[in-house]
A = this chain, B = another copy of it.
């Protein structure tokens, strides 16, 4: 494996797994207080753009990092939206 890819996979590992616990905690507790819907939609738009970018550049590290982040972040947004709708009723 070449050095560049190794650095990319390390980067992907660290930023993804630093993000994971917060996401898993939210999924478990369903407590979405303090989560900004606007910011989360912006974030997910960014993550999807990174997936497209990684695909266009055939960049495995960018792809892996953002596909995993997408599956961690998308359910959090979903729960946040459900809680928001319930709260408004």
Q: CA–CA, A43 to B11, complex, Å?
A: 9
Q: Give per-residue flags for A51-89: 1 if the beta carbon is below 8 A from chain B beta carbons, else 0.
A: 011001101011000000000000000000000000000
A–B pairs, 16, beta carbons within 8 Å: A3-B56, A4-B53, A7-B56, A8-B49, A10-B46, A11-B46, A11-B47, A11-B49, A11-B50, A12-B46, A14-B42, A14-B43, A14-B46, A21-B36, A21-B39, A62-B62
Does B42 lie within 8 Å of A17, measured CB to CB? yes
Interface of A is mostly: helix
Copies of this chain present in the complex amount to 2
Listed in ascending order, the chain A residues whose CB lies under 8 Å from chain B are: 3-4, 7-8, 10-19, 21-22, 36, 39-40, 42-43, 45-47, 49-50, 52-53, 56-57, 59, 61-62
